[in-house]
Amino acid sequence: MLNFYYLYGMESDGRHSGMQDGVARFLDYLKAEKRYSPLTVEAYRRDLAEFSAYVQETFGDESWAEADRLRLRSYVAWLAERRMAPYSIRRKVSALRSFFRHEMKAGRLKSNPALRLPLPKAGKRLVFFVEEGGMAQLTREEAVGASGQPLAPASPSGHPETAIKANVTGRKPKRKSPFETYRDYLILELFYGTGMRSAELLSLQDRKVDARQAVLTVLGKRNKERQIPLHASLCEAIAVYRRLRTEEVGALAGETFFMTLSGQPLSRSYVYRLVHTCLRKYTTIEKCSPHVLRHTFATHLLNEGADLNAVQMLLGHSSLASTQIYTHNTIEKLKKAYAEAHPKA
């Protein structure tokens, strides 16, 4: 069993403080110099902590200098035995490779044992997305409620003042205020209408949402800002949401855009449960996370003929290769159209 204390960042008996100090220095470097987001830094911490705990329990190591190629191969085999996906294994080894590179530059290690390490082939990543018909049904029905009728008088723009009745906790749902129900509806619309990440939505500031100019500014990975255009119906929905928020919460401009009725920022778990519950109603796909709506945004744009480079900029990808995973779905659609229409297909 892996060292529980080290794996979860808690205090242990102090025997392996050298390994912990190395990780702490590296994480400080990622935050201060690389400007990685808190979520990315936490992912590196977990990966390094898992490997450290493994070599401690398996080999009794007390320093990073003992982490040679043999130990890394043993670790990769252990991950494979746990039926971890090849892509996840490669990501974990990539984190170790970056750490060892940093230690070499600092003169604390002489070599990088993670270089040219045999790894399982990753294969093609499966991209889960909602079909256009499913998204149209989801946003329409969640906007008017389960009865198919508005739950409250509609705004002048045609948007209902209340929306989702989803039970996001698995318990008997409490009655939500107009602000809360419309907020949850707008969360779904913004995910699908902008392709932003969950962390970007949660950290979105009110002053960064400019409905008049039809654009919002998000803080993405590595603290890079990017602007995303807003379509007309989203701008109208934002205006309705802000009015309800002012009436029920009294929030001032400049604060977090999405918040609870008490004025606190929403939690990551709440947004996940909200999206998961709603997607389960209208799709049969395996994954029902907020990231699925990001995949759906990109896939639908490409299916409608959007330029790949433009989609890359909208998603905030640093590499075009990251965006190209969505072209697989588009090509499959073209193949299907070709097979159905061509006389000799």
Report the catalytic residues: 197, 221, 291, 294, 317, 326
3-state secondary structure of 278: helix
Residue 15 in tokens: 């025997």
- Report d(CA 220, CA 199) in Å as an integer: 8
Q: Look-up: residue for tokens 């744009």?
A: 301
- Report d(CA 271, CA 94) in Å as an integer: 29
Give which of 5, 110, 303 is closest to 311, Cα–Cα.
Answer: 303
Answer yes or no: are the C-beta atoms of 102 and 26 closer than 8 Å.
yes
Answer yes or no: are the C-beta atoms of 74 and 57 closer than 8 Å.
no
Cα→Cα distances 344→331, 333, 338, 339, 340, Å? 19, 18, 10, 8, 10
- Report d(CA 206, CA 204) in Å as an integer: 7
Give which of 48, 40, 113, 119 is closest to 85, Cα–Cα.
Answer: 119
3-state secondary structure of 254: coil
Q: Which amino acid is at 142?
A: E
3-state secondary structure of 76: helix
